Structure 1
Amino acid sequence: MYRIFFLFFFVFCFSCSQSSEAFLKKGKELMQSGQTKEAIEFINKAIEKNTSNADAFNVRGVAYYEMKSFPNALLDFDQAIELQPTAYRPYYNKGLLFTDQNKLDSALANYDLAAKYAPDTADVYLNRGMVHTLLDSRELALADFKKASDLNANSVMAWYNMGNIYFHDKNYKEAAQAFRQTVSLDPSSGKAFYGLALCYYQLNETDLTCTTLQQAVSLGYTDAKIALEKYCKKD
């Protein structure tokens, strides 16, 4: 009985000795290892310790978001914003959430605020560009993808999305350049090789079209195989 009481007392005291940040740190570690439900328990304790911990509300919102509990996630992101209105992450996370719900105007408004408070963060522009693309605002999307690539020259998705927009607008040289940059950063991207091959086809570069399609096929991109048979038949 004494031993049980001692262990209980020890655990209780250990819990009492931990700061809000310590509980939050443990919660983040659990989230990184995929233990989201367990993480929420520790983040709850972080919030109990300090109800003004904006980061804890934001992180718990991310946990709820990962669990598809969108109403709870939104409440936590809003609370994080109320506590720290100039932190960009809750706005960014709300942008993700609203995009998932196809509430694109709301997503855009939150990405605008994220860009205001974190103007040097490439992912903000990348995601806002994707929303502009969904809204068929290609000029705005292209501007965002360019900004993302300026801030992070290694952003594969920024270059790939630029290539798609240029191709859609029949700017095949610019599209080819963007796709070349994409495959140089990610040589395993079959879809980027495919896009590059289509650019070469439009530019009447037959040999490059076929060799690039072959590369896309070797990477398992199905559409490239169809295009290879169509455009590169041997007589």
Structure 2
Amino acid sequence: MFCISSCDKNRQRERDAFFVKGNLKLNEGEHSEAIRYYSEALKIDSNFADVYNNRGIAFYEERMYGQAVLDYTQAIQLKEQFTDAYYNRANAYYQLGQLEKSLQDLDSVKKYYPDSAYVFFTEGLTLTEVGEYDRAIQSMNQSVALDSTNAEAYVNRGTLYYYQQNFVKAKNDVHKALIFDPKEANAFNLSGLLHTEEKNYEQALSAFNQALELTPYQPFFLNNRGYLYLQTDSLEQAKQDINQSIRLDARNAYAYRNKGIYYLKNGQPQEAVRSLEQALSISERTDKTHYYLGMAYIDLGKKEEACIALSKAKLTKQTEAVRIYQQHCL
């Protein structure tokens, strides 16, 4: 009896030692080492929910999102009300593009933490990805109500207002974000987008440059500055920023849309079609892409294809798309 009890205690101490070492490596950002220590702990005790959750975090940080989901799921099976694991799995599902599953996990977390500002913030991000902007704004409103100092929440709500072309509210949120965090790069990026819409190109360039000073080589900021350069016909500068953006993130639909605009302005409609179709293959909701695709087909003399694209563009109530459609397709 004494031997069995003593051996069990020794194995538990060994398991806990690996767990602690894994936590230290996780905190130090040495994720591969953390995974190794957590795996050793699980060899000793395969029913340790906290180890699965923490190893899932390490996998997540290594962008191994599928492995992270497996570990979070195992943690939840071992500890039914493991809200941290539900929240972590929601983030992993988000990265995998499994957005409905992400929202389901966030609902599970809200049952236990109905006053968590960050849960509503994450829900708002996920709803944005599925295109439910009104619901996303409601979630961001709830997040702001629970934590009125979170600059990120203001920026993301402002971005939603920008998508809805409610530029006054978007500007107000940029202002609030910069009050709480004067170095919030995303706020400067959104400010640049708003100035671009209003054709205040000098202010837009200044804002994008400030964003890039705070976060150099951020692909979305580079792409947005590239779009600004397109508006001022600074085509070589636009090309440089857009190509750099694609090299850094090949899944940004707006970068391919902007590359399509570049080819249109450069008199290369066939290349424009390829880039614009690439944008739509990533996301059908990429703003103004159908309009530019219609314009490219017009330049190629392909009326039927142009009218199909423009008919989709005018559904978004773009004034110019409606005008071009009426001019060429009626």
Decide whether aligned partners of structure 1 residues 211 and 94 sit closer, same or farther in structure 2, where only a CA change above 3 A counts: same
Structure 2 unmatched runs, 5+: 1-9, 213-220, 233-330
Change (3 A) 1:193 1:71: closer
Task: Please say if 1:90 is aligned against 2:85.
Answer: yes
How has the CA–CA distance of structure 1 residues 78 and 214 changed in structure 2, closer, same or farther, with 3 Å as cutoff?
A: closer
Which residue is 2:109 aligned to? 114
- Aligned counterpart, 2:264: none
Q: Quote the Cα distance in structure 2 between the aligned partners of 1:212 and 1:180.
A: 15
Partner deviation per Cα, 1:104-139 (whole Å, 9 max, x = no partner): 111221122122233233332222211101111111
TM-score, structure 1 normalization: 0.74
Describe how 1:34-113 pairs up with structure 2 within 5 A: 34-113=29-108
- The residue number in structure 1 matching 2:175 is 180
Residue deviations 1:127-162, cap 9 Å, x none? 221110111111111111122223333322211011
Q: Check if 1:160 corresponds to 2:155.
A: yes
Amino acid in the other structure paired with 2:30:
Q
RMSD of aligned residue pairs (Cα, Å) = 3.4
- 1:216 matched to 2:207? The reply is yes
Write out per-residue CA displacement over residues 201-223 of structure 1, whole angstroms, 9 at most, x where no aligned residue: 98x8x9xx688546515514665
Work out which structure has the larger RCO, using CA pairs closer than 8 Å and 6 or more positions apart in sequence: 1
The structure-2 alpha-carbon separation of the partners of 1:44 and 1:191, relative to structure 1 and needing over 3 Å to count, comes to: closer
**Residues 190 and 215 in structure 1, CA contact (< 8 A), matched pair in contact too:** no
- CA gap of 1:160–1:46, structure 2 versus 1, over 3 A, is same
* Map 1:142-153 → 2, pairs under 5 A: 142-153=137-148
- Structure 2 Cα separation of the partners of residues 59 and 184 of structure 1: 35
Aligned partners of 1:57 and 1:70: how far apart in 2?
Answer: 14
Q: Which segments of 5 or more consecutive residues in structure 1 lack a partner in the other structure? A: 1-14, 231-235
Q: Please identify, of 147-156 and 210-219, the stretch whose mean Cα deviation from structure 2 is larger.
A: 210-219
C-alpha distance in 1, partners of 2:181/2:13?
43
Q: Deviations over 1:34-80 (max 9, x none)?
A: 22222123223433454432111111122223334444322221111
Quick one: which amino acid aligns to residue 108 of structure 1? L
Secondary structure of the structure 1 residue equivalent to 2:80? coil
Count, aligned residues: 214
Q: Percent of counterpart pairs with the same letter?
A: 25
Distance (whole Å) between structure 1 residues aligned to residue 182 and residue 104 of structure 2: 35
Q: Distance in 2 between matches of 1:195 and 1:70?
A: 29
Cα pair 2:155 2:186 within 8 Å, conserved: no
In 2: Cα distance, 1:20 partner to 1:150 partner: 43
Question: How many Å apart are 1:198 and its aligned residue?
Answer: 5.9
Q: Residues 194 and 204 of structure 2 are in contact (CA less than 8 Å); yes or no, is this contact kept in structure 1?
A: no
Most deviating of 15-24 and 158-167: 15-24
The aligned residue for residue 10 of structure 1 is none
TM-score, length basis structure 2:
0.55
Name the residue aligned to 1:193: 188
- 1:23 is the counterpart of 2:30: no
